[in-house]
Amino acid sequence: MHAALRHLRAAGLVEAPLPLGVDEQGREVLEWIPGDPGPGWANVVPHSGLEAMARLLRRVHDAGRGFVLPESMTWADLEAPRSGEVICHGDFGPWNLAWRDGSPVGVFDWDLAYTGDPIDDVAYALDYVAPFRTDELAMEWLAYPGPPDRAARIRVFWAAYSGSQATPEIVEGLVDAVLARQRRTRALATRLAEEGIEPQATWLREGRERVWDEQEEWVLANRAAILAGA
């Protein structure tokens, strides 16, 4: 993780905290980046915040090209290639960003980082900021004033991330990528839980599998409605 962070900073990603070492009690020490911590849901409701988040993710990926994991190390996701297309954050959501004046200024919690396909990281972010959740949850917990227009939000995010417009075919591909990423996230969390890693171990003890089932069921049931708006 620290090797990846040093690579990102050397490539100019100032939003990645510089690792400063480990203190006498074995705790990681990182550079302080001033800003409001997560969860930050209200920051991504307006399109301006959604676009700012997408642009930052693109900067993460651009800075993360060319990284090769040192031979003595492994990623948390053991199936991730040692050298992929880019460094992916692996948990890129509003809760892992520091915000200032409606824009993200810091990216934290890189413990699930890996090298891989950047679309996988885009799909993870879209899962939460489209969001691929019920209207009721979006309004009660994620700060939306009304039911979100998910197709429009996917288009806004993609345009800011890629610099190009999202065609209906691109939107369809992204929706399917979200579903695939949900399944991969579940598989990784299950493996970490079986190894006794927290918080994943607690999640499974508390029955998180049912939540994951409901999220996947929601995507499958609403896929056509989302694509109709593309």
Which tokens in the block code for residue 93?
A: 């959501």
pLDDT at position 44:
97
d(CA 204, CA 196): 10
Give the domain ranges of the chain: 2-164
pLDDT at position 11:
97
d(CA 178, CA 40): 21
2-164 is classed CATH 3.30.360.10: no
pLDDT at position 82:
84
**Cβ partners under 8 Å of residue 36, min gap 6:** 98, 99, 100
pLDDT at position 16:
97
d(CA 133, CA 215): 7
Residue 84: Cβ within 10 Å count: 20
Q: What is the mean pLDDT of each run of 10 residues along the chain (230 residues)?
A: 95 96 94 89 97 98 94 87 91 96 95 95 98 96 96 98 97 97 93 92 92 94 93
